[in-house]
């Protein structure tokens, strides 16, 4: 096999063997594996190796010689330029199968178990599902303001208002904001110069109600023509029921700031899921695909098999969604979440849904569970839905001491899921693994796992 360094360009004929965790084609080359975007299993072509990062080789397709029968024409004009999604040119059925296999592989590799993973539950049409749209301000090469998504692998902003996965209500809002910013000549924030004001613009749409929350993220509280901007925004976009300003002073990649000002409206929107009403504020976590979130929650609740007699804990609970849904079928529901704004929403949500046997605490989930274990608290069913990086060994250890008869692990990170499950397998066994596709046309997938206490 020819030698190559990180700089030299190597060209070879390769065949895609499988898709990686991140949705890249895996192409064997000698004893190496080259990761190639937009190259699907079974496809063959001329591949160039473009760079090496962290010991791994990344390439691109120079010419596709044998396309897969799963390849379809992409209908998105930005596909390949914008880094927002993958798989726009891959059949959705094949994407769902890939996600099922991926979870199976991670469980095998990282937890050492071979279990049957159920087929991924997906959307009928994987379109316009995203209720949270996160855009950035930038400048074009002619120094005109832009608003949209980052170009793949960079912080260059491409103006995109039309997107196949976002809620269609976002398009006119993004267009109006860009027009206002251009007309009023409000300087956008420039990372490299540390100058300007406007950083990001977020939209959250309610699925079931005619409500939209918009968040303008700025470098500082005041910016030129602020009053004018707000009044023209409000007049032009009556569908946006509340506008919040978030102030992020630090120069980093975090989007939302610590300081918030409600520019008009209540500062939150409401939505309905599985028959309950939820209040969502700018900082609270809320799943981004409402239709499939219902499927996810229904799966989690059915796995719990509640009879009305159980004490349930919803750990990493966000605005309390899973816990509040479980409350209908449980004796008592405890929930723990680390973001105070989300807990405030959860308390409000319990109140407005008339659910009183529900207790929500602001705490680190590990700390909370350790305390429960120390006082030998009673726990029948544990729901856990940690962020992508997963939970902690200490959390899992405390869970084992509490010995709930069922653990329902909801995860958006198949690797951390498998790593965490491994630590439970001495006293729990995997009963069901159900992938649910909340993120069509991206590499991400949710999984619900039912773990049963061994007798």
Which chain residues interact with ligand SAH by CB under 6 A? 285-287, 316-318, 321-322, 336-339, 342, 364-365, 385-387
Question: Do residues 323 and 348 make contact, with C-beta atoms less than 8 angstroms apart?
Answer: no
Question: Do residues 312 and 334 make contact, with C-beta atoms less than 8 angstroms apart?
Answer: yes
Cα–Cα distances (Å) from 196 to 220, 224, 245, in that order, read 9, 10, 16
Count CB atoms within 10 A of the CB of residue 348.
Answer: 19
Q: How many Å apart are CA 379 and CA 182, to the nearest integer? A: 57
Residue whose CB is less far from ligand SAH, 57 or 297:
297
> Which residues are catalytic, by number?
412
- The candidate with the shortest Cα–Cα distance to 209, out of 282, 273, 281, is 273
Residue whose CB is less far from ligand SAH, 98 or 444:
444
**Tokens, residue 382:** 């544990």
The 3-state DSSP class for residue 395 equals: helix
Q: Which residue is nearest to ligand SAH (CB)?
A: 318
CB of 308 to ligand SAH, least distance (A): 22
Strand partners for 90:
71
CB of 415 to ligand SAH, least distance (A): 16
CB of 409 to ligand SAH, least distance (A): 11
Residue whose CB is less far from ligand SAH, 43 or 385:
385
Q: How many Å apart are CA 317 and CA 385, to the nearest integer? A: 7
CB of 345 to ligand SAH, least distance (A): 10
CB of 301 to ligand SAH, least distance (A): 12
Residue whose CB is less far from ligand SAH, 158 or 280:
280
Residue whose CB is less far from ligand SAH, 89 or 294:
294
Dihedral angle computed from the Cα positions of residues 392, 395, 397 and 399, in that order, rounded to the nearest 10 degrees: -140
């Amino acid at each position: 096999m020819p030698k190559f360094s990180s700089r030299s360009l190597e060209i070879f004929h390769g065949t895609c063997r499988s898709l990686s965790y991140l949705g890249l084609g895996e192409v064997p080359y000698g004893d190496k594996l080259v990761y190639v975007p937009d190259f699907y299993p079974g496809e063959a072509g001329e591949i160039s190796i473009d760079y090496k990062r962290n010991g791994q080789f990344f390439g691109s397709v120079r010419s596709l010689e044998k396309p897969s029968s799963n390849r379809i024409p992409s209908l998105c004009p930005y596909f390949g330029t914008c880094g927002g999604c993958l798989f726009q040119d891959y059949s959705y059925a094949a994407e769902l199968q890939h996600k099922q296999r991926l979870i199976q592989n991670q469980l095998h590799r990282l937890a050492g178990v071979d279990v049957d993973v159920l087929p991924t539950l997906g959307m009928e049409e994987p379109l316009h599902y995203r209720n949270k749209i996160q855009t950035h301000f930038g400048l074009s090469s002619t120094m005109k303001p832009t608003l949209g998504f980052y170009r793949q692998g960079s912080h260059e902003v491409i103006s995109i208002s039309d997107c196949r996965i976002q809620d269609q209500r976002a398009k006119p809002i993004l267009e109006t904001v860009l027009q206002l910013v251009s007309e009023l000549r409000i300087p956008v924030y420039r990372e490299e110069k540390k100058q300007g004001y406007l950083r990001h613009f977020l939209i959250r749409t309610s699925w079931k109600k005619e409500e939209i929350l918009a968040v303008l993220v700025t470098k500082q509280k005041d910016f030129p023509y602020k009053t004018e901007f707000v009044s023209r925004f409000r007049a032009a976009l009556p569908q946006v029921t509340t506008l919040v300003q978030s102030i992020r002073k630090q120069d980093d990649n975090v989007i939302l700031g610590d300081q918030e000002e409600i520019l008009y409206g209540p500062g939150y929107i409401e939505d309905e899921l599985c028959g309950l009403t939820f209040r969502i504020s700018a900082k609270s976590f809320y799943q981004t695909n409402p239709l499939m979130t219902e499927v996810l929650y229904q799966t989690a609740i059915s796995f719990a098999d509640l009879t009305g007699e159980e004490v349930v804990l919803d750990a990493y609970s966000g605005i309390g969604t899973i816990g509040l849904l479980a409350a209908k079928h449980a004796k008592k529901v405890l929930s723990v979440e680390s973001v105070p704004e989300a807990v405030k929403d959860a308390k409000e949500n319990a109140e407005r849904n008339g659910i009183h046997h529900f207790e929500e605490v602001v705490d680190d989930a590990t700390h909370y569970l350790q305390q429960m274990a120390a006082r030998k608290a009673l726990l029948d069913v544990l729901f856990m839905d940690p962020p992508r990086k997963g939970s902690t060994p200490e959390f899992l250890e405390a869970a084992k001491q509490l010995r709930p008869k069922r653990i329902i692990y909801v995860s958006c990170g198949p690797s951390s899921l498998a790593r965490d499950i491994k630590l439970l397998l001495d006293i729990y066994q995997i009963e069901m693994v159900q992938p649910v596709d909340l993120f069509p046309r991206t590499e991400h997938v949710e999984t619900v796992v039912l773990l049963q206490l061994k007798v």
